[in-house]
């Protein structure tokens, strides 16, 4: 909006209408993207593991609330629930107390704390050398909740994380 416009004037009203149209367009694009994304997930994957974020708890946190409200997590989850039923895939929702970010995907060590500002997971266990991107590490922990038939290992009894393969192998199994 042109900040020299007089509030309530005709030009101001026109600008308001333009802004409203833009908001509408953006929400259509977002909705279209979300539908395509959830359809593709449900159609092309036998299992999908997501975290059940404590959305209402996070929304109380001022800094995070806007990002989470904007991301449409509820809608994402709602679509995944009905689309996985529709396409016969399996949706696994990790318990909201599952410490996906605090666990080491290699040795299982659990950190007491991992502030959101720390983007790299570095294991505290002195016998473990795991250092990797925080979200990637968390996603490996979630992958461990999937039924064994999607585990990207060929051995009989895969341990949850140790033998999950390289990032590339895992991602090619997920994507």
Helices (H), 7-72: 10-44, 55-59, 62-71
List 48, 68, 123, 160, residue binding Zn ion (CB under 5 A): 123
Question: What secondary structure letter does DSSP report for 109?
Answer: -
The yes or no reply on residue 170 touching Zn ion (CB under 5 A) is no
Of 50, 58, 93, 107, which one interacts with Zn ion (CB under 5 A)? 107
Q: Does 132 bind Zn ion (CB under 5 A)?
A: no
Asked whether position 153 contacts Zn ion by CB under 5 A, the answer is no
Residue 104 or 151: the one with the smaller Cβ distance to Zn ion is 104
Answer for which of 42, 106, 151, 160 binds Zn ion (CB under 5 A) is 106
What beta strand segments (E) does 71-126 contain?
90-94, 120-122
Instruction: Rule CB under 5 A: say whether 5 interacts with Zn ion.
Output: no
DSSP strand pairing (47-51 vs 90-94): parallel
Do 34 and 73 contact (CB within 8 A), yes or no?
no
53 binds Zn ion (CB under 5 A): no
Instruction: Report in angstroms how near the CB of residue 62 gets to Zn ion at its nearest.
Output: 33
Paired strand residues for 47 = 90
Pick the stretch among 21-29, 34-42, 121-129, 131-139 that binds Zn ion (CB under 5 A).
Answer: 121-129
Which range touches Zn ion (CB under 5 A), out of 57-65, 91-99, 119-127, 163-171? 119-127
DSSP 103: B
Q: How many other β-carbons are positioned within 10 Å of the β-carbon of residue 170?
A: 18
Rounded to the nearest whole angstrom, what is the least distance from the CB of residue 85 to Zn ion in the complex? 36
CB atoms closer than 10 angstroms to residue 135: 12
Rounded Cα distance, 137 and 161, in Å:
10
160 counts as binding Zn ion under rule CB under 5 A: no
Which residues in this chain contact Zn ion in the complex, by CB under 5 A? 104, 106-107, 109, 123, 125, 128, 130
């Amino acid at each position: 909006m042109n900040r020299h416009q007089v509030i309530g004037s005709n030009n101001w009203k026109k600008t308001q209408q333009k802004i409203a149209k833009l908001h509408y367009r953006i929400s259509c694009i977002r909705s279209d993207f979300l539908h395509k994304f959830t359809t593709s997930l449900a159609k092309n994957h036998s299992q999908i593991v997501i975290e059940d974020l404590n959305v209402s708890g996070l929304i109380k946190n001022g800094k995070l609330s806007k990002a989470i409200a904007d991301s449409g997590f509820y809608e994402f989850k709602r679509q995944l629930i009905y689309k996985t039923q529709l396409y016969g895939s399996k949706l696994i929702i990790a318990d909201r107390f599952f410490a996906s970010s605090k666990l080491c995907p290699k040795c299982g060590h659990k950190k007491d704390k991992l502030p959101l500002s720390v983007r790299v997971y570095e294991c505290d266990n002195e016998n473990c050398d795991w250092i990797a991107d925080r979200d990637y590490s968390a996603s490996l922990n979630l992958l461990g909740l999937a039924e064994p038939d999607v585990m990207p290992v060929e051995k009989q009894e895969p341990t949850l994380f140790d033998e999950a393969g390289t990032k590339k192998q895992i991602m090619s199994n997920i994507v």
